[in-house]
Amino acid sequence: MTDLDPMKTDLLAAIAAAATLEALDGIRVQALGKQGSITALLKTLGGMSPDERLVQGPRIQGVREAVTTAIAARKAALDRADLDARLARETLDMTLPADAAPQGSVHPVSQVLDEMAEIFADLGFAVATGPEIEDQWHNFTALNMPESHPARAMHDTFYLRAGEGEEAKVLRTHTSPVQIRTMMGQEPPIRIIAPGRVYRSDWDATHTPMFHQIEGLVIDKGITLGHLKWTLETFLKAFFERDDIVLRLRPSYFPFTEPSAEVDVGWTMEKGRRVLGGSEGWMELLGSGMVHPKVIAACGLDPNEWQGFAFGVGVDRLAMLKYGMDDLRPFFEGDARWLKHYGFSALDVPTLSQGVGA
Partner 1 sequence: MKVTLDWLKQHIDTDASLETIVETLTRIGLEVEGVENPGAKLAAFRVAKVLSAAPHPQADKLQVLSVDAGDGPLQVVCGAPNARAGLVGVFGSPGATVPSNGMVLKVAAIRGVESNGMMCSTRELELGEDHDGIIELPADAPIGMAYPDYAGLNDPVIEINVLPNRPDCMGVRGIALDLVAAGLGTAKPLAYAPVEGTGAGPDVRTDDAEGCPAFYAQSVTGLTNGTAPEWMRRRLTAIGQRSISTLVDITNYVMFDLGRPLHVYDRAKLSGGLVARKAVAGEQVLALNGKTYTLAETMTVIADAGRVHDIGGIMGGEDSGVTPETTDVVIECAYFDPDGIARTGQALLLTSDARARFERGVDPAFLEQGLAIATRLVLDLCGGTASLPTHAGTPPTTRKRIAYDPARAETLGGLAVAPERQRAILTALGFAVEADWTVLPPPARRDVDGPADLVEEVIRIVGIDSVPATPLPRAAGVAKPTATPAQRLESRVRRAAAARGLNETITWSFLSESQAEAIGGGTWTLANPISEELKVMRPSLLPGLLSAAERNLKRGAGGVRLFELGRRYLSDGERPTLSVVLAGEARPRGWQNGKASLFTAFDAKAEALALLAAAGAPVDNLQVMGDAGDAWHPGQSGTLRLGPKTVLAAFGMVHPLTTRAFDVDGPVAAVELYLDAIPPKRASSFARAAYAPPALQAVRRDFAFLVPDSVSGDALVRAARGADKAAIVAARVFDVFTGTGVEPGHKSIAIEVTLQPGEKSFTEADLKAVADKVVAAAAKLGASLRG
Annotated binding site: 258
How far apart CA 349 and CA 358 sit, in angstroms, is 8
Bridge pairing between strands 273-276 and 257-270? antiparallel
Q: How far is the CB of 297 from partner 1 (least distance, A)?
A: 11
Is residue 224 near partner 1 by the rule CB under 8 A? yes
Of positions 77, 83, 85, 162, contacts partner 1 by CB under 8 A: 162
How far apart CA 245 and CA 197 sit, in angstroms, is 27
Is residue 117 near partner 1 by the rule CB under 8 A? yes
Q: Is 201 in contact with 209 (CB distance < 8 Å)? A: yes
Is residue 266 near partner 1 by the rule CB under 8 A? no
Q: How far is the CB of 30 from partner 1 (least distance, A)?
A: 47
Is residue 19 near partner 1 by the rule CB under 8 A? no
Is residue 126 near partner 1 by the rule CB under 8 A? yes
Is residue 233 near partner 1 by the rule CB under 8 A? yes
* Binding-site positions for Mg(2+): 258
Q: Give the interface segment with partner 1, choosing from 42-50, 52-60, 77-85, 329-337 (CB under 8 A).
A: 329-337
Q: Is 18 in contact with 24 (CB distance < 8 Å)? A: yes
Is residue 331 near partner 1 by the rule CB under 8 A? yes
Which SS3 state, helix, strand or coil, does residue 25 take?
helix
Q: Is 113 in contact with 214 (CB distance < 8 Å)? A: yes
Q: Is 328 in contact with 320 (CB distance < 8 Å)? A: yes
**How many Cα atoms sit within 13 Å of 152 on the Cβ side?**
16
Tell me, what DSSP letter sits at residue 130? -
Closest to 312 (Cα-Cα) out of 209, 140, 195, 168: 195
How far apart CA 101 and CA 57 sit, in angstroms, is 69
Q: How far is the CB of 284 from partner 1 (least distance, A)?
A: 9
Residue 109 or 285 with smaller CB distance to partner 1:
109
Of positions 107, 275, 279, 323, contacts partner 1 by CB under 8 A: 107
Of positions 137, 253, 327, 351, contacts partner 1 by CB under 8 A: 253
Amino acid of residue 62: G
Of residues 20-59, which lie at the interface with partner 1 (CB under 8 A)? none
Of positions 20, 201, 206, 351, contacts partner 1 by CB under 8 A: 201
Q: Please confirm whether the linkage preceding 259 is cis (ω < 30° from 0).
A: yes
Is residue 358 near partner 1 by the rule CB under 8 A? no
Is residue 288 near partner 1 by the rule CB under 8 A? no
Of residues 170-189, which lie at the interface with partner 1 (CB under 8 A)? 171
Closest to 284 (Cα-Cα) out of 311, 258, 257: 311
Of positions 7, 23, 123, 358, contacts partner 1 by CB under 8 A: 123
Tell me, what DSSP letter sits at residue 329? G
Of positions 163, 222, 272, 300, contacts partner 1 by CB under 8 A: 222
Of positions 74, 114, 116, 310, contacts partner 1 by CB under 8 A: 114
Tell me, what DSSP letter sits at residue 217? E
Residue 131 or 357 with smaller CB distance to partner 1:
131
Is residue 213 near partner 1 by the rule CB under 8 A? no
Is residue 248 near partner 1 by the rule CB under 8 A? yes
How far apart CA 12 and CA 67 sit, in angstroms, is 6
Is residue 163 near partner 1 by the rule CB under 8 A? no
